[in-house]
Chain A
Amino acid sequence: MFVYMDHTATTPTDPGVLQAMMPYFNDKFGNPSSVYSFSKESRSAIEQARAQIAKAFNAEPSEIYFTSSGSESDNWALKGTLEKSIKLHKGDHLITSKIEHHAILNTAEYLEKYHGVKVTYLSVDSEGKIDLDELKNSITDKTALVSIMFANNEVGTIQPVKEIGNICRENNIIFHTDAVQAAAQLNIDVKALNIDMMSISGHKMYAPKGIGALYIRNGVRPENFLHGGAQERKRRASTENVAGIVGFGKAVEILKGRLNDDKAKISKWRDKIITGILEKIPHAKLNGTRGDERLPNNINFSFIGVEGETLLLDLDYKGISASTGSACSSESLDPSHVLLAMGLKHEQAHGSLRFTLGRLTTDEHVNYLLDVLPEIISRRRNMSPLWEDYLKSKGEL
């Protein structure tokens, strides 16, 4: 059995999306910038995709800029805004949070190092939420940008985006949000939420990898990130990834059409898995929050006494693809910065597992996971000196 429970890492391209893309690889291969009529098809296909995406988020088509990825969109928003602001002597201060994706964190670090930008990293509570008062108190007359992710990719916690948007608008500060995960799961209205810039990525939304977009509200003008030709109304150079853009537009349209149904179905599975794990596995700790403030598809647990990578391999052996933010699965040996920011001890953060559901999930998969996981955890715990120490400390041994 192939049980894919890592929809946050990436999703398969929807067959309808693939079909919509196909003509743009060879039949309609024209360069959208060319003058002859043959290229008009590529041009209008891009504009149709732009309109599809704009509509899904209640933006104007002129506010959607295609990029190569969520990472590029994040880089553009941060670097473009801070470079411009510094040039205009309008401030060199960036506010973000400790639990952002590395596309934000490493960009902020770059800006500190190469542009002297001052960065405030807001802390989060044990559920992964920022504190609005800390945000308000961090704002100075030098603050050029607030960038807070809409929802976290590891623990699924959704931030109070509307309140953040209001605070930024009141203080006349640009608000960027990394919605790479949220846009795939939630209804987002950029106008109602006072969002100035928003990053999204195709491959989290059943479009291919390597296509993304940055929403930039009309009137907001970050410096360009990719310099060159006049594409994307002179704001993002490089010959357009026409097929990718067409696929992205189609994928967002399909996703929006089924979002409410998917959300209801998937969050029910999510809650069944959470309840099931808490019932069947002793000393399992749910990371993040419950209910509507958690992404409908996210489940993240720490299992004290065991290390995440061993669990991933055991699950893989059983045909289940899952993920961990823990040490051994990544190049670095540090545990998840998100879980540490939420106050978990290192050994808890090392023992975390993430399951993310989506269109490939079935009832059968959910039941299968709940069948095999308790046995995997208990077998590895029995090999662990830490588990023994933990039980002793709880007086259970």
Chain B
Amino acid sequence: MALDYSKKVMDHFMNPRNVGELDNPDGVGEAGNPKCGDIMKIYLKVNDDTKIIEDVKFKTFGCASAIASSSMATELIKGKSIDQAWDLTNNAVAEALDGLPPIKMHCSVLAEEAIHTAINDYREKHGLEKIPMEIHEE
């Protein structure tokens, strides 16, 4: 089946932003599993005083929409506080990409989950309470 991706998805897939790793990340989060064909890893650099995400990188195994979702999600949370970043929903990621095909919506969910896991990893390491993760039904 030919998938019709939006121009934004193709742009973020062909030229993904924030690809890579951080040397001493303050938080790391992973979502998905290789069996399903998607796995996303997010690295955060967080300013301890302001709680602003100063840098973010990702690595993703998965289809074009998984890579584009990671790229867009990292752009959307860069420069935001960890609380603002927590509130980023998968729908917001998909909307920012001008939509994803219905069977690819789980890719945006993966981005939200990876960010939540990374933020909780940061919180845990910095004596903050972990926030309960919402379980998405796919």
Is A291 positioned at the interface, with any CB of B under 8 Å from its CB? no
Residues of B close to A386: CB separation below 8 A: 34, 39, 61
Given contacts A333-B103, A384-B59, A386-B39, contact A310 B34 (CB under 8 A): no
Task: Tell which of A305, A326, A330, A333 touches B61, judged by Cβ atoms closer than 8 Å.
Answer: A305
Residues of A close to B103: CB separation below 8 A: 331, 333
The majority secondary structure among interface residues of chain A is helix
Instruction: Map CB proximity to B onto A351-386 as digits: 1 under 8 Å, 0 otherwise.
Output: 000000000000000000000000000000011111
A385 pairs with B63, CB closer than 8 A: no
Question: In the bound complex, what is the Cα–Cα distance between A133 and B19 (angstroms)?
Answer: 51
Is B37 positioned at the interface, with any CB of A under 8 Å from its CB? yes
Given contacts A309-B64, A317-B14, contact A328 B37 (CB under 8 A): yes
Given contacts A330-B1, A331-B103, contact A346 B37 (CB under 8 A): yes
Task: Report B42 CB to chain A, min CB distance, Å.
Answer: 10
Given contacts A310-B62, A328-B3, 15 further A-B contacts (CB under 8 A): A307-B38, A307-B61, A307-B63, A309-B64, A310-B13, A327-B37, A330-B1, A333-B37, A347-B34, A383-B59, A383-B67, A385-B39, A385-B60, A386-B34, A388-B59
The contact size tier of chain A is 20 to 34
A-B contact pairs, 28 of them (CB 8 A): A306-B61, A307-B38, A307-B61, A310-B13, A310-B64, A328-B3, A328-B37, A328-B62, A329-B1, A329-B3, A330-B1, A331-B1, A333-B36, A335-B37, A346-B34, A346-B36, A346-B37, A347-B34, A350-B34, A350-B37, A382-B19, A383-B60, A384-B60, A384-B61, A385-B59, A385-B60, A386-B34, A387-B61
B63 pairs with A309, CB closer than 8 A: yes
Residues of A close to B60: CB separation below 8 A: 383-385
Residues of A close to B14: CB separation below 8 A: 317
B64 pairs with A313, CB closer than 8 A: yes
> How many interface contacts (CB-CB < 8 Å) are there between A and B?
71
Is B136 positioned at the interface, with any CB of A under 8 Å from its CB? no
Task: Report B78 CB to chain A, min CB distance, Å.
Answer: 18
Residues of A close to B63: CB separation below 8 A: 307, 309-310, 327-328
The majority secondary structure among interface residues of chain B is mixed
Residues of B close to A330: CB separation below 8 A: 1
Residues of B close to A335: CB separation below 8 A: 37
Residues of A close to B62: CB separation below 8 A: 307, 310, 328
Question: In the bound complex, what is the Cα–Cα distance between A242 and B80 (angstroms)?
Answer: 67
Question: In the bound complex, what is the Cα–Cα distance between A386 and B34 (angstroms)?
Answer: 8
Question: In the bound complex, what is the Cα–Cα distance between A347 and B40 (angstroms)?
Answer: 14
Residues of B close to A317: CB separation below 8 A: 14
Residues of A close to B113: CB separation below 8 A: none
Task: Report B121 CB to chain A, min CB distance, Å.
Answer: 15
Q: Which residues of chain A from 270 to 312 have a CB within 8 Å of any chain B CB?
A: 305-307, 309-310
